[in-house]
Amino acid sequence: MNDSRTHAQYSRAGFALGLLAYALSGVLPLYFKAIAAVPPFDIVAHRVLWSLPLLGLLITISRTWPKVGVAIGHRRTLGILCLTALLIGGNWLLYVYAVNRGHLLAASFGYYLNPLANVLLGRFVLHEKLNRLQWTAVAIATAGISVLAAGALGQLWISLTLCATFASYGLLRKVVAADAITGLGIETAILLPAALLWLAWRHSLGVPVMGSTPGLTGLLLLAGVVSTTPLLLFTAASKRLPYSTLGMLQFIAPTLQFLIAILYGEPLKTAHLVAFPAIWLALGLYVTALLRAPRLPQAPE
């Protein structure tokens, strides 16, 4: 009984962490719009540079430096984290580019594709079970996303690349033997040399890499907190929830991104008006299936 209650609390904590992670990710474009004067490569370099001290502090507070040593000393774990570092770095770069070049709708579509990728990876790679109502939700979401795809062919490469990199990142982070803080800390350390070299090169060209105004400098210094918090919440949630469930929750982030895109004047097409209600219906059905279960489904060991 106590074990069952503990499992249920563990999953509900994961559900809450996932909701918060995607809500914060959804409003992240507001931050990137505020620093749009900074080139995308510079922004990503700052994300890496200012994330590392924060992660080092968190690792120290949580006393998990021994875990860092174990992960680095394990060849397979370190290899996977090198790959996830490249995936998340590429994902960040393309996302910042899309937001600051007026392609936020294409970016939001990429993250609409991602939940379906997560559900399918959860089912066919991790062998998670889906009931009939959950499969219905997947089918409805697929139909809605197909409508969006038909209206976004010109920028589809952005959407597909964002989907592929983040879905692969999430899957590998779920199975790698490293917790959220440890894994993200190692990933950031792997990316740090490239970030430092890039900023040093830009500085040698006379570019104001710390921002051309005090306000911009302050915003760049926040890059670590702004980018690290959603990822930490995401990776913590991925350890507590089935990957398919985590995928359906992700519809929250692109919907918020979509609303921000409209706020900034990106054109709303008929395809969006057809697809978005279908996607939200799918999410409602999936959540209903979760609530009907005796307890929230458990991630496989």
Tell me: pLDDT of 117 over 80: no
Tokens encoding 218: 């302050």
Average pLDDT of the chain, as a whole number: 84
**Lowest mean pLDDT, pick from 26-40, 140-154, 224-238:** 140-154
Contact 28, 20 (CB under 8 A): no
Q: What is the CA radius of gyration of the chain?
A: 19
| Amino acid at site 8 | A
pTM of the model: 0.81
245-275 pLDDT, tens digit each: 776 777 788 889 988 998 888 887 777 778 7
**Range among 2-6, 83-87, 144-148 with highest mean pLDDT value:** 83-87
Contact by Cβ (8 Å): 210, 261 = no
For a pLDDT cut of 70, what percent of the chain falls above it?
90
**Is the predicted pLDDT of residue 301 greater than 60, yes or no?**
no
